[in-house]
Amino acid sequence: MKVAYLLAFLVVVLLSSCGKDVAQKDASGLSVESYSYITNSEAEDFFNKNVGPNINKFCKLCHANPAPTYTDAKKMIVAGKPQESKLYLKATGQDNHKVVWAAGTEKAENLRKWIEMEQ
Ligand code: HEC
In 3-state terms, what secondary structure has residue 102? Answer: coil
Which residue has its alpha carbon closest to ligand 1 atom 36?
Answer: 59
pLDDT score of 14? 46
- What is the C-alpha to C-alpha distance for residues 65 and 56, in angstroms, rounded to an integer? 6
CB 118 within 8 A of CB 88: no
CB 26 within 8 A of CB 15: no
Q: Ligand 1: distance of its center to the CA of 23 in Å?
A: 28
Up-side HSE of residue 80: CA atoms within 13 Å toward CB?
1
pLDDT score of 34? 55
At residue 119 the predicted structure's pLDDT band, cuts being 50, 70 and 90, is confident
Domain chopping of the chain, boundaries: 26-117
Say if residue 52 is exposed, middle or buried (CB neighbours under 10 Å; 0-12, 13-18, 19+). buried
2-58: pLDDT as tens digits:
666 655 544 444 445 444 444 445 555 555 555 555 556 899 999 999 999 999 999
- For ligand 1, which residues put their CB under 6 angstroms from it? 55, 58-59, 61-63, 66, 86-87, 90-91, 97-98, 100
57-98: pLDDT as tens digits:
999 999 999 999 999 999 999 999 999 999 999 999 999 999
Cα angle, residue 10 at apex, residues 18 and 1 outer, rounded to 5°: 155
